[in-house]
Structure 1
Amino acid sequence: MQDGQGKSFATMLSPIRAGQHTLRNRVIMGSMHTRLEAEPDSIAKQIAFYAERARGEAAILVTGGFSPNAEGMFDPEGPRIDDLENARSLRPICESVQAEGSLLCAQLLHAGRYAKIEGCVAPSPIRAPINRYVPREMTDADIRQTIEDFANAAANAQAAGFDGVEIMGSEGYLLNEFTVTHTNKREDDWGGSVENRHRFPVEIVRAVRERCGPDFLVIYRISAADLVEDGAPAEEIAELARKIEAAGADILNTGIGWHEARVPTIAYQVPRGVWRKAAANVKAAVSIPVVASNRINTPELAEDILASGDADMISMARPFLADPHFVKKAREGHADEINTCIACNQACLDFIFSDRPVGCLVNPRAGRETEFRDTPTDTPQKVAVVGGGAAGLATASEAAMLGHDVTLFEAQDKLGGQLNLARAAPGKEEFNETLRYYGGQLQKHGVKLRLGQRASVDDLSGFDHVVISTGVTPRIPDLPGVDHPSVATYAEILAGDRVAGDTVAVMGAGGIGHDVAEFLVTETKAQSPDAFCETWGVDPNFAISGALAGDPLAPVQTRRKVVMLQRKASKPGAGLGVSTGWILRNALRKHGVEALGGVVYDRIDDAGLHILIDGEPKTIPADTIVLCTGQEPEQALAESLAAQGATVTMIGGAKEAAELDALRAIDEGVRLAQSL
Structure 2
Amino acid sequence: MIDYKNLFTPTKIGSLELKNRFALAPMGPLGLGDAEGGFNQRGIDYYTQRAKGGTGLIITGVTFVDNEIEEHGMPSVPCPTHNPVHFIRTAKEMTERIHAYQSKVFLQMSGGFGRVTIPTNLGEYPPVAPSPIQHRWLDKTCRELTVEEIQTIVKKFGEGAYNAKRAGFDGVQIHAVHEGYLIDQFAISLFNHRNDEYGGSLENRLRFAREIVEEIKERCGEDFPVTLRYSPKSFIKGLRDGALPGEEFEEQGRDLDEGIKAAQLLVSYGYDALDVDVGSYDSWWWSHPPMYQEKGLYRPYAKLMKENVDVPIICAGRMDNPQMATEAIADGTCDIVSLGRPLLADPDYVNKLRRGEVEDIRPCISCQEGCMGRIQEYSILNCAVNPQACRERVTAYNPILKQKKVLVIGGGVAGCEAARVSALRGHQVELLEKNDRLGGNLIPGGAPDFKEDDIALANWYTHQLEKLEVEVKYNTTATKDSILAANYDVVIIATGSTPKVLPLGNDQQVLTATEVLNKEKDCGDKTVIIGGGLVGCETALWLAQQGKDVTIVEAMDNLLQNNGPLCHANSEMLEELIPYHNIEVITNATATGYKNNQLKIKVDQNEKELACDSVILAIGYQSEDSLYQELKFDIPEIYLLGDAKKVSNIMYGIWDAFEVANHI
Name the structure 1 match of 2:247.
Answer: none
Task: Spell out the pairing of 1:158-173 with structure 2 (5 A cutoff).
Answer: 158-169=165-176, 170-173=178-181
Aligned to 2:393, the other structure's residue is in SS state: helix
What is the CA-CA distance between 1:585 and the residue it aligns to? 0.9
What is the CA-CA distance between 1:17 and the residue it aligns to? 1.8
| CA spacing shift, 1:425–1:354, aligned 2, 3 Å | same
Alignment deviations for residues 505-556 of structure 1 (CA, whole Å, 9 cap, x no partner):
2222222222222222122xxxxxxxxxxxxxxxxxxxxxxxxxxxxxxxxx
> Does residue 237 of structure 1 match 2:259?
yes
**Distance in 1 separating the partners of 2:301 and 2:589:** 46
Name the structure 2 match of 1:433.
Answer: 456
Alignment deviations for residues 115-147 of structure 1 (CA, whole Å, 9 cap, x no partner):
354443322222143343322233333332322
> Does residue 114 of structure 1 match 2:107?
no
CA contact (8 A) 2:528 2:612 kept: yes
1:357 corresponds to which letter in structure 2? Answer: I
Name the structure 2 match of 1:254.
Answer: 276
| CA spacing shift, 1:599–1:238, aligned 2, 3 Å | closer
What is the CA-CA distance between 1:283 and the residue it aligns to? 1.2
CA contact (8 A) 2:27 2:60 kept: yes
Alignment deviations for residues 537-577 of structure 1 (CA, whole Å, 9 cap, x no partner):
xxxxxxxxxxxxxxxxxxxxx540313222x4566546422
**Distance in 2 separating the partners of 1:153 and 1:194:** 27
| CA spacing shift, 1:480–1:218, aligned 2, 3 Å | closer
What is the CA-CA distance between 1:430 and the residue it aligns to? 1.3
CA contact (8 A) 2:290 2:367 kept: yes
Name the structure 1 match of 2:436.
Answer: 413
Alignment deviations for residues 363-400 of structure 1 (CA, whole Å, 9 cap, x no partner):
11112212222364231111111111111111111111
What is the CA-CA distance between 1:489 and the residue it aligns to? 1.0
Name the structure 1 match of 2:80.
Answer: 81
Aligned to 2:627, the other structure's residue is in SS state: helix
**Distance in 1 separating the partners of 2:66 and 2:327:** 40
Name the structure 2 match of 1:550.
Answer: none
CA contact (8 A) 1:43 1:93 kept: no
Name the structure 2 match of 1:281.
Answer: 304
**Distance in 2 separating the partners of 1:335 and 1:575:** 33
What is the CA-CA distance between 1:96 and the residue it aligns to? 2.6
Alignment deviations for residues 36-81 of structure 1 (CA, whole Å, 9 cap, x no partner):
1467996111112111111112112112211221367585343333
**Distance in 2 separating the partners of 1:490 and 1:444:** 33
Name the structure 2 match of 1:19.
Answer: 14
What is the CA-CA distance between 1:308 and the residue it aligns to? 1.4
What is the CA-CA distance between 1:86 and the residue it aligns to? 4.2
1:416 corresponds to which letter in structure 2? Answer: G
> Does residue 468 of structure 1 match 2:493?
yes
What is the CA-CA distance between 1:607 and the residue it aligns to? 5.5
Name the structure 2 match of 1:204.
Answer: 212
**Distance in 2 separating the partners of 1:242 and 1:435:** 45
| CA spacing shift, 1:193–1:160, aligned 2, 3 Å | same
1:400 corresponds to which letter in structure 2? Answer: A
- After TM superposition, the structure 1 stretch with the greater mean CA deviation from structure 2, 71-80 or 238-247, is 71-80
> Does residue 66 of structure 1 match 2:89?
no
Name the structure 2 match of 1:612.
Answer: 602
> Does residue 191 of structure 1 match 2:180?
no
**Distance in 1 separating the partners of 2:562 and 2:347:** 33
Indicate which of 568, 571, 578 corresponds to 1:581.
Answer: 571
Aligned to 1:64, the other structure's residue is in SS state: strand
CA contact (8 A) 2:419 2:431 kept: yes
| CA spacing shift, 1:149–1:162, aligned 2, 3 Å | same
**Distance in 2 separating the partners of 1:59 and 1:46:** 18
Aligned to 2:491, the other structure's residue is in SS state: strand
CA contact (8 A) 1:59 1:102 kept: yes
CA contact (8 A) 2:33 2:40 kept: no
Indicate which of 141, 147, 157 corresponds to 1:150.
Answer: 157
Task: Spell out the pairing of 1:20-419 with structure 2 (5 A cutoff).
Answer: 20-37=15-32, 43-70=40-67, 73=70, 76-77=73-74, 78-79=76-77, 80-83=79-82, 84-91=84-91, 92-109=93-110, 110-115=112-117, 116=119, 117=122, 118-169=125-176, 170-228=178-236, 229-261=251-283, 264-265=286-287, 266-374=289-397, 376-419=399-442
| CA spacing shift, 1:663–1:218, aligned 2, 3 Å | same
Alignment deviations for residues 587-622 of structure 1 (CA, whole Å, 9 cap, x no partner):
112123333343344333335333333223333333
| CA spacing shift, 1:589–1:74, aligned 2, 3 Å | farther
2:219 corresponds to which letter in structure 1? Answer: R
What is the CA-CA distance between 1:441 and the residue it aligns to? 0.8
Q: TM-score of the superposition, structure 2-length normalised?
A: 0.90
What is the CA-CA distance between 1:29 and the residue it aligns to? 0.3
**Distance in 2 separating the partners of 1:62 and 1:262:** 21
What is the CA-CA distance between 1:643 and the residue it aligns to? 5.3
**Distance in 1 separating the partners of 2:255 and 2:68:** 29
Aligned to 2:572, the other structure's residue is in SS state: helix
Name the structure 2 match of 1:669.
Answer: 657
Aligned to 1:105, the other structure's residue is in SS state: strand
What is the CA-CA distance between 1:501 and the residue it aligns to? 2.7
| CA spacing shift, 1:38–1:105, aligned 2, 3 Å | closer
| CA spacing shift, 1:87–1:458, aligned 2, 3 Å | same
Aligned to 1:185, the other structure's residue is in SS state: coil
| CA spacing shift, 1:669–1:513, aligned 2, 3 Å | same
> Does residue 507 of structure 1 match 2:534?
no
**Distance in 1 separating the partners of 2:583 and 2:50:** 43
CA contact (8 A) 2:554 2:590 kept: no
Indicate which of 619, 636, 643 corresponds to 1:653.
Answer: 643
| CA spacing shift, 1:639–1:142, aligned 2, 3 Å | closer
Instruction: Report percent identity of matched pairs.
Output: 29
| CA spacing shift, 1:476–1:606, aligned 2, 3 Å | same
| CA spacing shift, 1:106–1:338, aligned 2, 3 Å | same
Alignment deviations for residues 245-287 of structure 1 (CA, whole Å, 9 cap, x no partner):
3333322211321011175451111111122010011111222
What is the CA-CA distance between 1:187 and the residue it aligns to? 3.2
**Distance in 2 separating the partners of 1:246 and 1:82:** 27
Alignment deviations for residues 426-473 of structure 1 (CA, whole Å, 9 cap, x no partner):
511111221221122111111112112223335431222121111111
Gaps of 5+ in 2: 237-250
CA contact (8 A) 1:484 1:605 kept: no
- After TM superposition, the structure 1 stretch with the greater mean CA deviation from structure 2, 134-143 or 274-283, is 134-143
1:197 corresponds to which letter in structure 2? Answer: R
| CA spacing shift, 1:71–1:183, aligned 2, 3 Å | farther
| CA spacing shift, 1:632–1:114, aligned 2, 3 Å | closer
CA contact (8 A) 2:70 2:128 kept: no
**Distance in 1 separating the partners of 2:611 and 2:660:** 47
| CA spacing shift, 1:271–1:569, aligned 2, 3 Å | closer
Q: TM-score of the superposition, structure 1-length normalised?
A: 0.88
- After TM superposition, the structure 1 stretch with the greater mean CA deviation from structure 2, 465-474 or 216-225, is 216-225
Aligned to 2:539, the other structure's residue is in SS state: helix
1:653 corresponds to which letter in structure 2? Answer: D
Higher relative contact order by CA 8 Å / sep ≥ 6: 1 or 2?
Answer: 1
CA contact (8 A) 1:269 1:427 kept: yes
* Root-mean-square deviation over aligned CA pairs: 2.3
